[in-house]
């Protein structure tokens, strides 16, 4: 089974209520991946309402010892 899509962690939104990074799913719910999952090297965000899942692209070192999500990095605009 292949992933629905591949998404950069920067394109996901931190949801403090869920304690997870989220991304809109076509079914209307949200793909979710927790900080604990990221610390363990997990790269799959699942939708709790359907069978779709995403591959999340991120730097494992940014999350290895994180107790909360890393601050967003500024984007250089030329």
pLDDT in tens, 21-66: 999 999 999 999 999 999 889 999 999 999 999 999 998 888 777 6
Q: Which residue has the tokens 């799959």?
A: 44
- What top-level class would CATH report for the domain 5-62? alpha beta
Name, in order, each residue with C-beta under 8 angstroms of 65's C-beta and a sequence gap of 6 or more. Answer: 39
8-17, 57-66, 68-77: least confident range: 68-77
């Amino acid at each position: 089974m292949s992933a629905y899509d591949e998404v950069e962690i920067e394109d996901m939104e931190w949801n403090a209520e869920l304690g997870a990074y989220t991304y809109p799913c076509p079914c209307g719910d949200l793909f979710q991946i927790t900080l604990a999952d990221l610390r363990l090297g997990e790269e799959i965000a699942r939708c709790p309402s359907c069978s779709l899942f995403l591959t999340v692209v991120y730097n494992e070192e940014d999350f290895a010892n994180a107790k909360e999500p890393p601050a967003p990095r500024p984007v250089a605009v030329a």
